[in-house]
Chain A
Amino acid sequence: CTSTAMTEREERRFAEVPRESIKLMAESSGVELSEEVAALLAEDVCYRLREATQNSSQFMRHAKRRKLSVEDLNRALRWSNTETICGYGAQDALPFRPLKEGELFFVEDREINLVELALATNIPKGCAETMVRVHVSYLDGKGNLEPQGTVPTAVQSLSEDLLKYYQQITRAILGEDPHLMKVALLDLQSNSKIAALLPYFVYVISGVKSVSHDLDQLNRLLHMVKSLVQNPYLYLGSYVRSLVSSVMYCILEPLAASINPLNDHWTLRDYAALLLSHIFWTHGDLVSGLYHQILLSLQKVLSDPVRPLCSHYGAVVGLHALGWKAVERVLYPHLPAYWANLQAVLDDYSVSNAQVKADGHKVYGAILVAVERLLKMKALSLTLAAEGSGAGLPGTTTGAVSFRENSPGLSPPPEPLSEPPLGIASHLQAGGAGCPWEEWTPVSLPAMYCELYSFFGDSLAVRFSTGLPLGGVPPPGPCQPLEGRKEPASSAPNLENTRKMPQLTASMNISPRQDGSPRMEPQPPSLAATVPGRSLARSSSSSVSRSRSSSSRPGRSTSQSRDIFPKARFPLPQAGPPAFSFIIGGRQMGRRCQGRRFQTSFSPTPPLTTHPPRAYAHKLPVIGRVSKPVRRWTCSHYSLHLPL
C-alpha cells in the first residue's frame, strides 16, 4: 500500500502531496525523479486528486448520501478515464496509522488467510430483502404518537426508535384490534433489529401472572412468545428459561380464568403445551437441563393431589407435547397412583361434583391420548430398532414417513422417533441423584399395554392403532409393528393376560355419513378384543407376556376399569351413527411354523340402521369436546392440535 506523508506548509490552502512522497512512490516503482520533475508531478497529482474528489462529490449528492464513498471516487475516476482503485470498498473504517520513525502514515493492510476464509463454516447470512413499510406518521398534520401505555423504566435508555417500536408493538399485541395484533406479531417474528428489546418483551410476557383472569390477554402473550421464538434473528439465550416459565405458568397454574366454567382455558393450556414443546425442540439446547427441569415440574404437579384437575390436565398435555418418552417416563409410572384419585372423581355422581367430574373427564381424555401415542410410538420405535439393525437408515426414514402419512389426525407435529435427542437424553440420565428416573427401567411394550388396558379397557383397545390408512387394503408397513412387538416378548406366559394381548390394530374414526370418508361395518369395539383373543388362545404357547415390573398391577385395575363408562354417559357427538373401520391383523402362531400373518379388514357394508347408535356409543372414548359438533373426520376423536 502506498504511504502518503503530509508536511505542514505555511501557505497551505488545502492538503497537498509533497514532492518527497512523489519521489518515494517513483522510487518504489523503480524510477528516479529529479527534484524539478517531482515538484511538477506533485502539483499535478494534487490537482487531479482535488478534481476527482470534486467530481466524486456529485455522485454522492445524486446518490442522496452525506458520506463520500470509495465507490463515488471510483466512478469519478472511471469517467475521467483513470484506473479505479480497488480494495477499499469495505464498509469498515480504514485505520490511518502513523509510523513514529519518519513521518509516515499508512492504511493498515492486513493479510487475509484466503484458505481459512474459503473453508470457514460460518457462512454469513444473506442480507435481508429490501422492503417498503408504510406507516402513518402524522395524522392531520399532528403527531399521533402520544404515549398511551406505561413503559418499564429501563426501556427509556433505549434509542427513541426502538422505544417507539416497543410501545407500538406491545400496544398492538395487547390492544383490541385483532388485525393490528396480527401485523405486530408478524413483525415481531421477522424483525431483525429488535435484539435489544428482547429483555423487555420477555418482561412483558412474564406479566402472565398478573393477567391470569383474562384468557384473551394470556393468549396474546403466548402468541408473543411464539413470535419471539420463531424470529430467526433473535438469540434467546438464557431468556428461554424465563419464557418457558411463563408458558409453564399458563399450562399448569389454576388460572383465575378457569373458575368460570364458561372460559375455555383448556384450549389455552393445549396451546401453551404445544408452544412449550416448540420452544423445547427449537431452543432446548440453549439451557442445559431444561428438559429435566420441565419434566420435574410437570411431575410435581401431577403427583400433587391437592392441585386442581385443570393443573393435572396441563401436566398431562405438557408431557404429551414433550413427546412420548416424556409420557413414558413421567406419566406412565405415575398413572397407578393418579388413577385412584381420578377414578374417585369420575365415580362421584353428586350434583355438586358435576363440574369437577367434567374436569376429570378432560384429564381422562388427555391421559388416554397421551398413552395411546406412547404405545403407538413405542411400537414403532421397536420395529424400527429391529429393522434398523438390518436395513439401516432408509428403513428408519421410510418408517417415519409412513407413520406421518398414516396419521393425519395426530395432534402434535410429527416427531422424530429417536427422541429425545442424544444430548438431552444424556443429561436426562445424568440428572440429579434421587430422581425417580434414576432407577427407571423401560417397561416392555406388552406389559405396558396390559397395564394401560387395565385402566382404560376397551376404549384403549379401540383407539390403539398403528395408524392404518382409513380405508382399503392396509399396506404392509403398518403391520410390521405387530411383528416387532412380539419379538421382544418372552418369559412366562400369562393366559389371563394374553386374552387381551394387542394382536390387533384397530383404526376407528367417527365420521358423519355424508362426508364420504370410508366406512366399515360398525362393530362393537369389544369384538376387537375378542377376535385376537381367540386366535391367541390357540397359540398361547409362544405368546407375549407382561414384564416383571408391571405384573402386580393389572389385577387390581382391571376390575376398576370396567366401570369407568356407565352406559350412555356420553352424548353422541353427531346425529348420524358414526362409522368406523377397523382392521385386525396379527400373526397366528402354530406349533410347526413361525406363524402366519393374518389380516382382516372389514369391508364396508350397508349402514346398519337397525343397530341403535346408543348400543355402542357409550363405548366410544370421546372425552374431549363432546359438546362441539364434529366436522372433520380427521380430527374427530380428539383435538389437541392447534396449529402453531
Chain B
Amino acid sequence: ARHNSYRGKKMAAVQDAPMELDAEKETKPEILSDGTSNLSGNTASGTLSSPPLTAGGAPKQEDQQTLIAVLQFLRRNKLTESVEILRREACLEDQEDSQTLDGSGGGKGDGDGGDANSLLSRVSIASAAAPQSTLTPIPVKSEYDQPDVSVVLSAYSQQGDPSLYQVYYSSLKNFIESVLDCHRAELSQLFYPLFVHMYLELVYNNHENKAKAFFEKFSGDQECYYQDDLRILCGLTKKEHLKGNEALLDFRTSRFVLRISRDSYQLLKRHLQERHNNQIWNIIQEHLYIDIFDGMPRSKSQIDSMSGSFAGETRREVNKAKVFYGLLKEPEIEVPLDDEDDEAENEEGKPKKKKTKKDSMGSKSKKQDPNAPQQNRIPLPELKDSDKLDKIMYMKESTKRIRLGPENLPSICFYSFLNAYQGLTAVDFTDDSSLLAGGFADSTVRVWSATPKKLRKVKSAAELNLIDKESDDVLERIMDEKTASESKNLYGHSGPVYGVSFSPDRNYLLSSSEDGTVRLWSLQTFTCLVGYKGHNYPVWDTHFSPFGYYFVSGGHDRVARLWATDHYQPLRIFAGHLADVTCTRFHPNSNYVVTGSTDRTIRLWDVLNGNCVRFFTGHKGPIHSLAFSPNGKFLASGSTDGRVLLWDIGHGLMIGELKGHTDTIYALKFSRDGEILASGSMDNTVRLWDSMKAFDDMETDDFTAATGHIHLPDNSQELLLGMYHSKSTPVTHLHFTRRNLLLAAGAYNSQ
C-alpha cells in the first residue's frame, strides 16, 4: 500500500517505503487507546492537520481519510486529472463517495478556494517533473500547501472556561514541581507547548484580556531558548492576526513532539485523570505527540541538548531510515606522473616509490564503501575529459597536502573585501581555490580571480568563426584577451544575492537572490544562462552538487528544491520545515541534501525519493551554516546561538556541541582530511576545533543508538584548538585549499 507522503502538509513526493510501524506500535499502545475517541471525533476536520507519521494505531484508516480530504481539495480546485490518478492508485472509489456526502468539517468550512489557491501558488509543485530528466521524476499526486486556515483553527473552537485556564495551567505546574526530580525534568517539557496552545486558544476565542493575563503570568516560566517564539506570541492578541501568521499555523498543524519515559507519562496521565483536567488532556491528545520510551527518564541536560526547535524533538523512528552516507567510488583514472616527478624519483634512486603510490591510489578507489549508495543510485553526469584532468590535478595536489592535527594547525589566509559598501552577503571559492565569488546586497555578483591568471570572456560568435578550430590551443584562442581583468561583475538579480555556489568544473556559478530566482551564470562568457523561478520568495541559499548538474536551493517559502541545470522546473521539492530554509548543502556523495531552517531544525533529504531521512533538533536558534565531513559520515551545523553541533548521520545522533562563538556562525568547513573543523562567525573570529577527537569520543553503544539518549560531554574547551581574530571583519566563508591551507573571507567593516 502506498502511504501518502512523509509530511502530508506539503506533500512533495510520495514515498514508497512504508515506515516501520511495528516499532511504533510497541511503544504507543497507550496513547492510541486513549486517543481513539478524540481521533474519531476529529477526523473530518483534523486529519489534514495531523502529521502523517502519527500513523500509529490505525494508519490505514487515517491515511484513507487523509486521502479523501485530499481528493476533496483537488476536486474543489478542479484538478480532475489528479483526482482520477489518486483515486485509481489508492483504490478509494467506494469510501470516498460516501465520505464526501457528509463532508461538513474540513472539506468546506469557510474554506475559500482563493485563499488556498494563493497559498498554492506559493509552493507550486511540479506535477510531473520533465520526463527527460535523468533522475526519474516521481509522480506527484497532489498539489497541496496547507490546510485551510479555518480548518486549522477550528480545532481551537472547543470551549473550556477561559477564566479557568490559569487554574488548569498552574495546577499542572504545581503537580510537575512536586514530582520526583527524575520525572520533573521530563514533564517540564510539557510547559512550553501547553502554554502556547492554551494561549492561542484563548486568543482564538477572543478572550484577549484573559490571554494577556495568561501570558503575563506564565511566560516567565518558559525555557530561555523559546524567547524568540514568545516574543512573536506576545504581540499576537487578535484572532485576525492568527490567520496571517504562518509560523503559528505551522505550530498548530504540526504536533509538538515530546519524548517522555513511560514512568513519567503514567504519572502525568494519572494526575490528569484524577483531577479531571480535561482541558489539558485534550490539548495533549490533539496537539502534542508524546513519544514514550521505556527505561530511565532523561536528565535535564539531556533534554535540553535536544530541545529548542520550533516543533519539539525528533521522533525516534524518523531517524531510523537507512542512510547511505559513504562516498561513491572514485572513477579510475590513470594518473600519469609528471616527467619531473619521474626524474626526481630516479635521481633519488627510488623508482619503486612511483609504483606503490599508484597502487595505493588504485586500491583505495576500488574498494566499495559498504555504507555507500549504489554508484548509479541517482544518475550522475559523465566525467568529461576536463573533469578527469581536474581529478588528476586534485590527486597531485592531495599528495602535497599538509596533514593537520592538534599539533599542526593550518595557516589562515584572509580574503578581505574592501569598500564593500554594497554589503557582502555571500562568498564562495572554487574547489581549487582559483576563483572567488561574492554576492552583494546591491544585487550584483562579482567574481575575482584568486590567482594571477586574469578572467577572460570567450570571444564573440563572429570572432570565433575566424579561429582555426583544429589548432591545439583552440581553448586558449577562443578567449578574448581584451576582456582580461581581475574581476567581473554579473548583473541580473533584482534583489540582494544571498547565496553563491560554483560548479565543481568551474564553468558555472549559481546565485540565489531576494528576487525569488536562482541564476546560473557562465564563467566562460560571464553572462546569465538561466533564471530558475519557482521559489517566488527570497531564496536564501543554493549549493551545487559535488558532481555538478544538480543543485539545491532553499528559501523563505519553507521548502528546498532540487534542480538540474537543464531543467527549468525543480526535480524535487523538499517540504517539511516549519519556517524558512536558510541553508542548503549537498552530501559529498550527492545522494542527499541537508537543509537548515529558521525553525531551528536540520533535515536530511534523500534526493532519490524526496524523503526526509534525518531530522535533527537541538539548536536554539536559526541555522545558518552546515558542513559535511569529507567522509560523508558527519555533519556540523552552526546557528545564531553561536554553537556548533556535530551529528552522526548514520546513527542519526547528536555527537558533539562546540560552544565558544558569541555570535551567529556563518561559515563551517572541515579540513580536507576531516581532522579539523573551522568555524567562522560574525564575532570576527575563526575557531578551529579538533573534530577527530570529537568524533572519537562519541559513544556508539547500541543503547545510545537505539534510544537516541545522548549524553554530551561538555568538552568544548578541550576541542577548541585555536581562536583567531580578524580585523573587524565578520567571517562569511571558509574554505580549505586542496593542500589544507585555510582561506577565510569577509567584508571589512570599518565601524
The stretch that binds A, out of B45-53, B54-62, B414-422, B612-620, is B414-422
The reply to whether A64 and B682 form a contact with Cβ atoms under 8 Å apart is: yes
Interface residue A499 (Cβ < 8 Å from any Cβ of B)? no
Chain A contacts of B744 at CB under 8 A? 137
Chain B contacts of A136 at CB under 8 A? 411-414
Q: Which of A108-161 contact B (CB under 8 A)?
A: 127-143, 160-161
Expressed in whole angstroms, the minimum distance between the Cβ of B380 and any Cβ of chain A is 31
The reply to whether B411 and A140 form a contact with Cβ atoms under 8 Å apart is: yes
The stretch that binds A, out of B278-286, B315-323, B721-729, is B721-729
Residue of A nearest to B417 (CB): A132
Q: List 19 A-B contacts (CB under 8 A).
A: A11-B216, A44-B241, A46-B235, A47-B241, A58-B556, A64-B666, A79-B556, A130-B420, A130-B421, A130-B438, A131-B417, A132-B415, A132-B417, A132-B418, A132-B487, A134-B413, A138-B724, A139-B411, A143-B724
Residue of A nearest to B750 (CB): A193
Given the interface contacts A127-B419, A138-B411, does A132 sit within 8 Å of B448 by beta carbon? yes
Expressed in whole angstroms, the minimum distance between the Cβ of B368 and any Cβ of chain A is 36
The reply to whether B235 and A47 form a contact with Cβ atoms under 8 Å apart is: yes
Chain A contacts of B640 at CB under 8 A? 61
> Which of B237, B408, B450, B498 is A140 in contact with, Cβ under 8 Å?
B408
Beyond the given A51-B241, A62-B582, A130-B418, please list 13 additional residue pairs across the A-B interface where CB-CB is below 8 A: A44-B238, A47-B237, A62-B496, A66-B682, A79-B556, A132-B415, A132-B417, A136-B411, A137-B726, A140-B410, A141-B411, A161-B727, A164-B727
Produce 1/0 per residue, B220-260, CB < 8 A to A: 00000000000110111110110011000000000000000
The reply to whether B234 and A14 form a contact with Cβ atoms under 8 Å apart is: yes
Best-buried of A129, A132, A136 by chain B (most CB within 10 Å): A132
Given the interface contacts A47-B237, A59-B514, A140-B409, does A134 sit within 8 Å of B721 by beta carbon? no
Interface residue B730 (Cβ < 8 Å from any Cβ of A)? yes
Produce 1/0 per residue, B593-625, CB < 8 A to A: 000001000000000000000000000001010
Interface residue B664 (Cβ < 8 Å from any Cβ of A)? yes
Interface residue B690 (Cβ < 8 Å from any Cβ of A)? no
Given the interface contacts A131-B418, A139-B411, A141-B722, does A161 sit within 8 Å of B425 by beta carbon? no
A139 to B728, CA, bound (A): 19
Given the interface contacts A132-B436, A133-B418, A135-B416, does A64 sit within 8 Å of B730 by beta carbon? yes
Interface residue B502 (Cβ < 8 Å from any Cβ of A)? no
Interface residue A43 (Cβ < 8 Å from any Cβ of B)? yes
Interface residue B423 (Cβ < 8 Å from any Cβ of A)? yes
Chain B contacts of A71 at CB under 8 A? 441
A113 to B565, CA, bound (A): 52
Given the interface contacts A75-B514, A79-B537, A161-B727, does A134 sit within 8 Å of B237 by beta carbon? no
Produce 1/0 per residue, B54-87, CB < 8 A to A: 0000000000000000000000000000000000
Chain A contacts of B425 at CB under 8 A? 62-64
How many residues of chain B are within 8 Å of chain A by beta carbon?
A: 69
Chain B contacts of A13 at CB under 8 A? 216, 234
Interface residue B538 (Cβ < 8 Å from any Cβ of A)? yes
Interface residue A245 (Cβ < 8 Å from any Cβ of B)? no
Given the interface contacts A127-B421, A131-B419, does A47 sit within 8 Å of B238 by beta carbon? yes
Given the interface contacts A61-B640, A63-B423, does A134 sit within 8 Å of B412 by beta carbon? no
Expressed in whole angstroms, the minimum distance between the Cβ of A17 and any Cβ of chain B is 12
A173 to B533, CA, bound (A): 53
Expressed in whole angstroms, the minimum distance between the Cβ of A48 and any Cβ of chain B is 9
A140 to B537, CA, bound (A): 43
> Which of A58, A130, A141 is B419 in contact with, Cβ under 8 Å?
A130
The reply to whether A141 and B235 form a contact with Cβ atoms under 8 Å apart is: no
Produce 1/0 per residue, B516-527, CB < 8 A to A: 000000000000
> Which of A62, A128, A138, A193 is B412 in contact with, Cβ under 8 Å?
A138
Residue of A nearest to B582 (CB): A62
The reply to whether A133 and B415 form a contact with Cβ atoms under 8 Å apart is: yes
Interface residue B212 (Cβ < 8 Å from any Cβ of A)? yes
Q: Which of B384-423 contact A (CB under 8 A)?
A: 408-423
Expressed in whole angstroms, the minimum distance between the Cβ of A539 and any Cβ of chain B is 59
Produce 1/0 per residue, A46-76, CB < 8 A to B: 1100110010001101111110000100010
Q: Which of B523-570 contact A (CB under 8 A)?
A: 537-538, 540, 556
Q: Which of A10-64 contact B (CB under 8 A)?
A: 11, 13-14, 43-44, 46-47, 50-51, 54, 58-59, 61-64
Expressed in whole angstroms, the minimum distance between the Cβ of A124 and any Cβ of chain B is 13
Given the interface contacts A134-B450, A141-B722, does A63 sit within 8 Å of B414 by beta carbon? no
> Which of B240, B414, B440, B732 is A137 in contact with, Cβ under 8 Å?
B414
A128 to B664, CA, bound (A): 29
Chain B contacts of A51 at CB under 8 A? 235, 241, 244-245
Interface residue B424 (Cβ < 8 Å from any Cβ of A)? yes
Chain A contacts of B417 at CB under 8 A? 130-132
Produce 1/0 per residue, B697-739, CB < 8 A to A: 0000000000000000000000001101011101010000000
Residue of A nearest to B676 (CB): A141
A127 to B421, CA, bound (A): 8
Chain A contacts of B446 at CB under 8 A? 130
Given the interface contacts A14-B235, A47-B238, A79-B538, does A141 sit within 8 Å of B410 by beta carbon? yes
Chain A contacts of B582 at CB under 8 A? 62
Interface residue B688 (Cβ < 8 Å from any Cβ of A)? yes
Q: Which of B413-465 contact A (CB under 8 A)?
A: 413-425, 436, 438, 440-441, 446, 448, 450
The reply to whether B450 and A141 form a contact with Cβ atoms under 8 Å apart is: no
A47 to B622, CA, bound (A): 23
The reply to whether B212 and A11 form a contact with Cβ atoms under 8 Å apart is: yes
Residue of B nearest to A134 (CB): B415
Best-buried of A11, A54, A62, A139 by chain B (most CB within 10 Å): A62
The reply to whether B235 and A50 form a contact with Cβ atoms under 8 Å apart is: yes
Q: Which of A190-238 contact B (CB under 8 A)?
A: 193
Chain A contacts of B727 at CB under 8 A? 160-161, 164
A141 to B514, CA, bound (A): 37
Best-buried of A50, A58, A64, A136 by chain B (most CB within 10 Å): A64
A164 to B245, CA, bound (A): 51
Chain B contacts of A140 at CB under 8 A? 408-411
The reply to whether A137 and B724 form a contact with Cβ atoms under 8 Å apart is: yes
Expressed in whole angstroms, the minimum distance between the Cβ of A295 and any Cβ of chain B is 42
Best-buried of A47, A51, A61, A141 by chain B (most CB within 10 Å): A141
Expressed in whole angstroms, the minimum distance between the Cβ of A596 and any Cβ of chain B is 54
A63 to B640, CA, bound (A): 13
Interface residue B148 (Cβ < 8 Å from any Cβ of A)? no
A61 to B681, CA, bound (A): 12
Chain B contacts of A50 at CB under 8 A? 235
Produce 1/0 per residue, B482-494, CB < 8 A to A: 0000010000000
Given the interface contacts A63-B496, A130-B419, does A135 sit within 8 Å of B414 by beta carbon? yes
Given the interface contacts A79-B537, A131-B419, A132-B436, does A61 sit within 8 Å of B624 by beta carbon? yes
A50 to B231, CA, bound (A): 10
Residue of A nearest to B741 (CB): A136
Produce 1/0 per residue, A152-195, CB < 8 A to B: 00000000110010000000000000000000000000000100
Residue of A nearest to B745 (CB): A132
Expressed in whole angstroms, the minimum distance between the Cβ of A227 and any Cβ of chain B is 18
Interface residue B580 (Cβ < 8 Å from any Cβ of A)? yes
Produce 1/0 per residue, A593-618, CB < 8 A to B: 00000000000000000000000000
The reply to whether B730 and A141 form a contact with Cβ atoms under 8 Å apart is: no
Expressed in whole angstroms, the minimum distance between the Cβ of A417 and any Cβ of chain B is 38
Produce 1/0 per residue, B655-670, CB < 8 A to A: 0000000011010000
Q: Which of B201-220 contact A (CB under 8 A)?
A: 212, 216
Chain B contacts of A161 at CB under 8 A? 727-728
A59 to B538, CA, bound (A): 9
A64 to B726, CA, bound (A): 16
A59 to B212, CA, bound (A): 30
Expressed in whole angstroms, the minimum distance between the Cβ of B577 and any Cβ of chain A is 14
Expressed in whole angstroms, the minimum distance between the Cβ of B49 and any Cβ of chain A is 23
The reply to whether B411 and A64 form a contact with Cβ atoms under 8 Å apart is: no
